[in-house]
Structure 1
Amino acid sequence: MINETSWIDVVLIQCYMGWRPKELGLLKIKNVDLKNWEITGGMKTKAGTDRTVPIHPRIRPLVIKWYDKATQLNSKYLFNCTDTTTHRSSLKLSYDKYMHRINRLIETLKLNPDHRPHDSRNTFITMCKNAGVDEYAIKKMVGHEIYDITEKVYTKRDPQWLHNEILKIQ
């Protein structure tokens, strides 16, 4: 089904990484680290900007697919809209383009029409909570502010910590 339905793999990437819909279109190929399996990006808040999120093993082949596609296009962005006839200068994924593709997926797969592009972010956070991922790890990955002084100021985490936490999602 993934290879048959365009853009469903981007939804899955969002479900396993928690990016905001608009952030997906801003992820730069230079910030995709396939050696350490993580992507750095984000926006909106100080905590959300330039955050690093591990790539869950389940979606690694999907990220590689989009990475290779972007490289072939010589694009600086990970996700590009090549599924329609569009001018080369407008391949960049915007929120509106993503919403259009989500709506097309909903229609094609006969899903609940109430779904929105942000739902995959909600799914990520819910999967993390259900899997027992550390609350602060969730906040770091989704770019939410940490107000606890002990955690924010005094706790130093090993870089592998987020990778170990995301692996709790089965």
Structure 2
Amino acid sequence: MLCIKCGKEIADSSAYCNYCGQKQSSKSTKTKYHKRERGSGTIYQDKRYKKPWLAFAPSSKYGQGRQYIGCYATRNDARAALEDFIKNGRPELYNATLADIYEMWSKIHYNSVSYSAVKLYSSMWKRFKDVQEMPVRDIRTAHIQEIVNAATSKSSAEIIKAMATMLCKYAMENDIVIKNYAEFVKVPKFENKEKRIFTAEEIKALWKQSKRKSAQVVLFMIYTGFRIGEMIALRVEDVNLDVGYIIGGEKTEAGKNRIVPIPPSIPELKGFIQQWCTDTGSGRLFPMRHQRFREDIFDDALEAAHIEPTGLTPHCTRHTFASLSSASGIKPESLQKIIGHANYATTAEVYIHQDITKLIDEMRKIKR
């Protein structure tokens, strides 16, 4: 061919002229691929994906509309997958249900999270009952949105969406779906309902039943603010009765291994704890199953004290503790440290290294 600038003869494959150095074409030198024959499937590149080469089965042979096979790092990989699909049929996980994905995902994910997180996800998985047996490739945003809309609180709705997002992501990683439809789900607005707390009369009724182990445990939660999981995880070595505090907590970084003083003005609590330490043979302060706590402990205590259970849950003891602490005049920064919340006010950051004696003095303000 002739150089486009000097007109001298150069090799047909030359990108530049050997004589004047002129580039011979401004056109793209991208590799051109032959168009696949009709009915043989589709392969195309979409650079939005980490593996940009997408393969689809031929629609004429496998029902209405083309069927997604997977995404691949190279075009050759995509072509090989498509040819294997046409020759051998759909891949093993093509018809995987959401339950199949959950089983595979949970075996991996549950090894990297806390026991309380596993219990939470296991509980939330029940909310997916209407779609558990559906093929993942058939699940769309509307299916997940319906589950989220049925949640009774914002936190539950957010957890359901997060869990659905992780399941769909796992399906994407295994080339079962091409899009994470859970990401498009909207968490609805929820009204902030006033949390039910134990009244002064109800607490007094519990004290009248304080010879019962169940009532003692509920009172312990009311005056320490421990969550159920945190309380059940406590061990004898976590208790320091000489100084008057317990080390425990989980769920958040702010809540882990925090110091919770035993209110000095309520010596009966120290007596309960001392007896529990003596009675246990397992090293655990409360050798009980999380699943049985509501019936064996909480409901039993309320029934013995003739307390109407409507609106009361074990977590209400924690809200009661916060309300009692605030009403008693405990400083907000001290309460946040005792209860294990991470949302410290900016001016409260100086209290991070607060001495245990100061916290005990604060708890002294709580009376029976």
CA distance in 2, matches of 1:138, 1:31: 20
Q: State the TM-score, normalizing by the size of structure 1.
A: 0.83
- Please list the CA deviations of residues 78-104 of structure 1 after superposition, one character each: whole Å capped at 9, or x if unmatched: 112xxxxxxxxxxxx233221112122
Residue 122, structure 1, aligned to residue 329, structure 2: no
Per-residue deviation at 1:141? 0.9
- Please list the CA deviations of residues 23-79 of structure 1 after superposition, one character each: whole Å capped at 9, or x if unmatched: 110011111111111100100000010001001131111111111112xx1x22111
CA distance in 1, matches of 2:334, 2:298: 28
Residue 40, structure 1, aligned to residue 247, structure 2: yes
Task: Tell me the number of residue pairs that the alignment of Structure 1 and Structure 2 aligns.
Answer: 154
CA distance in 1, matches of 2:234, 2:316: 19
Per-residue deviation at 1:155? 5.8
Per-residue deviation at 1:152? 2.2
Identify the residue that residue 166 of structure 1 maps to in structure 2.
Answer: 363
Identify the residue that residue 305 of structure 2 maps to in structure 1.
Answer: 109
Residue 16, structure 1, aligned to residue 195, structure 2: no
Alignment-mate amino acid for residue 98 of structure 1: F
2:336/2:344 contact within 8 Å kept: no
Tell me which structure has the larger Cα radius of gyration: 2
CA distance in 2, matches of 1:42, 1:159: 16
CA pair 153-146 structure 1, distance change in 2 beyond 3 A = farther
Per-residue deviation at 1:116? 1.0
Residue 134, structure 1, aligned to residue 331, structure 2: yes
2:334/2:359 contact within 8 Å kept: yes
Which structure has more relative contact order (CA 8 Å, sep 6+)? It is 1
Report SS of the residue matched to 2:292. helix
Amino-acid identity (%): 30
**Structure 1 unaligned regions, length at least 5:** 81-92
CA distance in 2, matches of 1:45, 1:9: 27
CA distance in 2, matches of 1:120, 1:154: 25
Per-residue deviation at 1:110? 2.6
**Structure 2 unaligned regions, length at least 5:** 1-208
CA pair 97-151 structure 1, distance change in 2 beyond 3 A = same
Identify the residue that residue 84 of structure 1 maps to in structure 2.
Answer: none
After the TM superposition, which parts of structure 1 deviate over 6 Å for at least 4 consecutive aligned residues?
Answer: none
Identify the residue that residue 98 of structure 1 maps to in structure 2.
Answer: 293
CA distance in 1, matches of 2:260, 2:355: 14
Residue 53, structure 1, aligned to residue 236, structure 2: no
CA distance in 1, matches of 2:253, 2:347: 18
CA pair 154-104 structure 1, distance change in 2 beyond 3 A = closer
Greater Cα shift, 146-155 or 103-112:
146-155
Report SS of the residue matched to 2:213. coil
2:218/2:301 contact within 8 Å kept: no
- Please list the CA deviations of residues 95-129 of structure 1 after superposition, one character each: whole Å capped at 9, or x if unmatched: 32211121222233331122211111111111000
Identify the residue that residue 88 of structure 1 maps to in structure 2.
Answer: none
